[in-house]
Amino acid sequence: MTSSQFSRKELENHMRQKGRLPPGQILTKRLPILHYGSVPTFDPASWDFRVWGEVEETLTFTWEEFSRLPRIKITLDLHCVTGWSKFNTAWEGISMSTLVENGLIKPKPRANYVMQYAEYDFSANLPIDVVLSNNFLLATHYEGAPITPDHGYPLRGLVGAIPGQKGHKDVYLWKGAKWLRGLEFMKQDRPGFWERAGYHNEADIWKEQRLA
Ligand SMILES: Nc1nc2c(c(=O)[nH]1)N[C@H]1C(S)=C(S)[C@@H](COP(=O)(O)O)O[C@H]1N2
Ligand SMILES: [Mo]
C-alpha cells in the first residue's frame, strides 16, 4: 500500500489489522512538527557532539568528524504521545550499537541509562538497551534529504517501531531529542525534560504509558 492511493481511514484500518497501530493512536499521513521552544540555528564551526559519564573515554566530535561516521538506513513507525502515528518513515543516520561494536564509544559495565542532551536544555532519558537497539538512531537524514531545521537539523535522536517487528522496546517519539548535542551515560536513571513535566518514564507505546 502506498499512502497516496488510499484514504487516511483505509490506511489506518490496514495498520490496525497488521497489529502496527498502538492503542489510542490514529494514523497521520504527514509528519507533524512538535517541540517546546524555538528552532535553533546550526553553526558547523562551533557545533560539537559530546559523549561523557559512564564511558571509558570522554569524546568530543566536531561536525566534520561526526559527518564522517558510517551511516545506515532504517524505516520506522513513529508514535507520538499526543495520539498520531506516522508509518514507514525512512531515515538515515548513525547506529549507536555500531559505534559501540566498533569500540568508538566504550560504555562502562555500570552504564545502565543514557541521557540525550539537545540545544536549549532539552533532554530525554532511555535505558541503554533501547539506545543500542535497532529502533534507535542518531538521525541526520529524513526521506533522502538532510533533516529540516524543524525536525532537528543537523542531528536528532530518533526512536520508533520497526515495521512488523515486535520484541523491541517501542517508546513514544518524545524519547528522541531533536537538535542533539550530546549523550551522557549514567549508572542511575534520571528524568529528562518531558519526564519531569509528567510524562511516563518508560513510555511504552503498546502499554499506553503516556503520563506518569
Ligand atoms: N529538542 C527537542 N526535541 C524534541 C522535543 C522538544 O521539545 N525539543 N519534543 C519531542 C516530542 S514531544 C516529539 S512528539 C517529537 C516530535 O518530532 P517531530 O517534530 O519531528 O515530529 O520530538 C521530540 N523531540
Ligand atoms: Mo510529543
158-171 pLDDT tens trace: 999 999 898 899 99
Q: Percentage of the chain surpassing pLDDT 70?
A: 99
Q: Is the CB of 31 under 6 A from ligand 1?
A: yes
Q: Report the nearest atom of ligand 1 relative to the CA of 178.
A: 3
Distance 176 CA to ligand 1 centre (A): 7
Indicate which residue's Cα is closest to atom 22 of ligand 1.
Answer: 174
Cα atoms in the 13 Å half-sphere on the side-chain side of 103: 0
Closest ligand (CA of 174):
1
Burial (0-12, 13-18, 19+ Cβ within 10 Å), 162: middle
- What is the pLDDT, as a whole number, of residue 1? 55
Mean pLDDT score, 43-47 = 98
Would you state the pLDDT for residue 2? Answer: 61
Q: At 97, phi and psi to the nearest 5?
A: -65, -35
Question: How high is the mean pLDDT of the chain?
Answer: 97
Q: Which of 3-12, 51-60, 138-147, 189-198 has the lowest mean pLDDT?
A: 3-12
Ligand 2 mean position to 28 CA, how many Å? 14
User: Which residue, 172, 173, 169, 174, is CA-closest to 194?
Assistant: 174
The set of cell numbers assigned to 91 is 531515515
Q: Which pLDDT band holds residue 143 (cuts at 50, 70, 90)?
A: very high
Q: Which ligand is nearest to the CA of 39?
A: 1
Which CATH superfamily, name and number, covers 44-196? Answer: Oxidoreductase, molybdopterin-binding domain (3.90.420.10)
- pLDDT, tens only, 175-200: 999 999 999 999 999 999 999 999 99
Q: What is the pLDDT of residue 95?
A: 98
Instruction: Supply the pLDDT for residue 67.
Output: 96
Report CA(175)–ligand 2 centroid distance (Å): 9
pLDDT at 3 over 70: no
Q: Which residues contact 5 (CB under 8 A, 6 or more apart)?
A: none
Our answer on whether the CB atom of 146 is closer than 6 Å to any ligand 1 atom is no
Q: What is the pLDDT of residue 5?
A: 83
* Cell (9 digits) for 109: 559495565
Q: 63: closest CA among 47, 40, 41?
A: 47
Q: Whose CA is nearest to atom 12 of ligand 1?
A: 174
Are 60 and 50 in contact by the 8 Å Cβ rule? The answer is: yes
Give 95-141 pLDDT, tens digit per residue.
999 999 999 999 999 999 999 999 999 999 999 999 999 999 999 99
Distance, CA 45 to ligand 2 centroid (Å)?
Answer: 30
Span 79-91, pLDDT tens digits: 999 999 999 999 9
